Chains A and B, each alone.
Chain A
Amino acid sequence: MDWNLLWFVLLGVLLTGYAILDGFDLGVGIVHLGGRDDRERRIIMNSIGPLWDGNEVWLVTFGGALFAAFPEAYATAFSGFYVAFMALLAALIMRAVSIEFRSKLASGLWRGWWDTTFCVASLTASLLFGVAVGAAIQGVPLDRRGILRTSILEQLTWYPLLIGLLTVALFAMHGSLYLRLKTGGELRDRITRWAWRWHWAFIALYVVATIATIATVPHADDNFRRFPWAWGVVVLNVLAMLNLSRTMKTGRPMQAFVSSGAVIAALVFLFGMALFPNLITSRPEPSHSLTIYNAASSTGTLKIMSLIALIGMPFVLAYTAVVYWAFRGEVELDEHSY
């Protein structure tokens, strides 16, 4: 059994879970300022009220699993992108506290400040996640030890920024589709219009990003030659996207939301395909890359962690299901709401 490969896949699963779940609540944050009055904004914020914290645990667990399974990659990525990670931390903190603090005081100035903070922080976090994915696909200059020593300015080129924008559009669309499930009436009609706008923005950026990837990233398609079945996922991705457009038109909000979740899952898969077997691709010196083999913990540890995951994951899925079930349906503001 190839335990390293298993953990590459499991990290992919965690990342997919995170991108789908926190993807919609980051998206809700991005479109939050579209709410016209206090009540609308409270509905929008409370649509994720009980859920955002659990969603973020997927990121925390992804981080912990990366640390445990591939410590070299964890150490290199987190220290190499120091400034970006600090900005991400600031964004995640400000986002969380804006949900917690916003409705605690009645003052319009206070609420306006936290509304704006919520939006800007969600936008920043989404952008940074996308930039990280873009930088990983493009490759970064690792030294012989597998350490990244460049400044933030050298890291920020147009390609990662493009992927960052793509992620913002994707999450905003995903979040709007989620909000359609949680709202009603005139607000819902307006949210549907936002969803369409972000949907077109996403498609446009997706086309540009695909062309850019093929044109500028060498070897991005290597794995498709090795694993021809992977083309199936590309087809599924396109089908999910078409189904998304179709169900938005025919007014099936749940199907549209699930389809956008499927699009996200497919995109995370393609990201994995662009990397494999690397975790951090080195460029211009590909032999310095950190792979799932040279960056990994010992096989013994990977086995122990597999057991932990095997025991733990069914519980995780059960809790997630229970919570989403308990808070299904339209948002109702009550004394426990934010």
Chain B
Amino acid sequence: MDVVTLSRLQFALTIMFHYIFPPLTIGLSVVIVFLKGMHLRTGESIYDTAARFWTKLFGLNFALGVVTGIVMEFQFGTNWAAYSRFVGDVFGSALAAEGIFAFFLESGFLALLLFGWDRVSNAMHFFAALMVSLGGIFSSVWITVANSWQQTPAGHELREYVINGETYVRAEIVDFWAMVFNPSSINRLTHVWLGAFIVGAAFVMSISAWYLLKGRHEEFARRSFVGALVLATVSSFAQLFSGHVQAHAVAEHQPAKMAAMEGLYETTTAAPLYIVGWPNDATGTTTGIALPGMLSWLLHFDTSAEVQGLDELEPIYGKPPVWLTFQSYHIMVAIGMMFIAATTLSWLLWWRGTLYETRWLLWFWVTSIVLAIIANETGWVTAEVGRQPWIVYPTIVDGVAVGGLRTSDGISESVTASQVLGSIIMFGFIYIMLFVLWISLLHRKIMAGPKIPGEHAKPGGMADAAADIVAHRDGLASPTEDR
């Protein structure tokens, strides 16, 4: 394989693994701030118990987010040197702002949050949780702004600069705020935040639902579950709206991406909206179950409106990989719809008082964390694959693409295919190891459960009793087991 393909594969691998963690920690940090705030206000010990339990899990997730995040920052330089030269003036300043404003805030107060329980006052500890949460949210601002600028560049000019008498061209900022508030920043940031809240809520509901099914820590689990259900419901419905606004923006600024998302090979009036489908590049058609005219209606509020297809768009924008863009987009949407249905149904049952007896629905919520992470990942796959072949999207002037940077022109000049292959194998090994350890440590912490004063474990069955004994024994052997 060539350097371009390998570098893209490596970037996909490292960013997708990294992106398991930021939404999880951002979402969970919001939950922790809420719990700490409630404890501070009401003084009820259940909130303190819950905050301690979720913070323990938060710490583990955060550590993985940090170590996989350093890779991302280095990788722009190691694998995408030509891109870095082209965008450094714009992208670099957003990244530096992220370091100074967000990472220091996050890491400083994280120390107080994780290790400061007995060292600082309750109010200070709440403040630390708030700052960690803000730090996470700030960092999502800057990195999403930088990425949005690549999708819908604004506030910059292409300018020449000279090295050793040779002239080269790069993007330079002329209007900082226009760059920050480029046409897609706000939409995409909202979408990213809501996605993170859903992941955080799903994480809490997944573990709480499991406790409920097993009859463990029930009071704790019910409170956590309902709290997270509020967050999940609000975020899921808001996400539907945000997604709709987002789709409009994509159709306006990146129509080729929109066409790929819906597998629209030819310009069509009354364009259909697929529920499921299979785009086929060879025949240039998409087959599947579709709602006729709905795409036209969603984009133009008119079921017979014309929507441009790849036949018209490809000569201008180039052609993104259709199948992958289509499927990842549809998986994201399908999961989003499932969340809307499941949250609504959960409230209905809650109101009738049978929520906690509806075991199949609780089992759905146990799996919801996996679904939420998949939806976040596939959303990003849609955004990043759908903008190909561009790493920085061009501006269209009189039907001609100007000013962008093609992905194939962004790679490092001096790096060879064998070097990239070597680093992919290295990251592959390390990440598989990290993933296995992460899952098994999460499992142990979940098995051990929250430390509820005065509660004795009520094992739900033989297997659970055995698991509890194991957890208990390990706890005795190592008092440090839970940090």
Contact = CB atoms under 8 A, between A and B. Distances in A.
Interface in B72-98: 73-74, 76-79, 81-82, 84-85, 87-93, 95-98
B111 A294 contact: no
Contact of B437 (A96, A101, A334): A101
A74 B108 contact: no
Contacts of A85: 74, 77-78
Interface string B432-450: 0010010001001000000
A323 B112 contact: yes
B98 A78 contact: no
A188 B108 CA distance: 27
A297 B60 contact: no
Contact of A83 (B97, B103, B419, B478): B419
Contact of B111 (A59, A96, A147, A327): A327
Interface in A82-115: 82-83, 85-86, 88-90, 92-94, 96-97, 100-101, 103-106
A275 interface: no
Interface residues of B, number: 80
Given A64-B95, A64-B96, A65-B96, A294 B173 contact: no
A59 B170 CA distance: 26
A298 B159 contact: yes
B120 interface: yes
A196 interface: no
B101 interface: yes
A1 interface: no
Given A49-B115, A94-B430, A315 B163 contact: no
Contacts of B364: none
B111 A51 contact: yes
B116 A149 contact: no
Interface centre among B164, B166, B430 (most CB of A within 10 A): B164
B73 to A, nearest CB: 5
Contacts of B474: 105-106
B196 to A, nearest CB: 20
B482 A64 contact: no
A278 to B, nearest CB: 13
A215 interface: no
Interface stretch (A246-254, A264-272, A299-307): A299-307
Interface residues of A, number: 80
Interface in A313-333: 313, 315-316, 319-320, 322-323, 326-327, 333
A181 interface: no
Nearest to A51: B111
12 contacts: A50-B112, A54-B111, A64-B98, A67-B92, A71-B92, A92-B67, A97-B67, A146-B163, A297-B92, A319-B109, A320-B108, A334-B118
Interface of A: 42, 49-51, 53-54, 56-57, 59-61, 63-65, 67-72, 74-80, 82-83, 85-86, 88-90, 92-94, 96-97, 100-101, 103-106, 144-149, 287-288, 290, 294-295, 297-298, 300-301, 304-305, 308-309, 312-313, 315-316, 319-320, 322-323, 326-327, 333-338
Given A60-B99, A335-B480, 4 more contacts: A50-B114, A54-B111, A75-B81, A147-B413
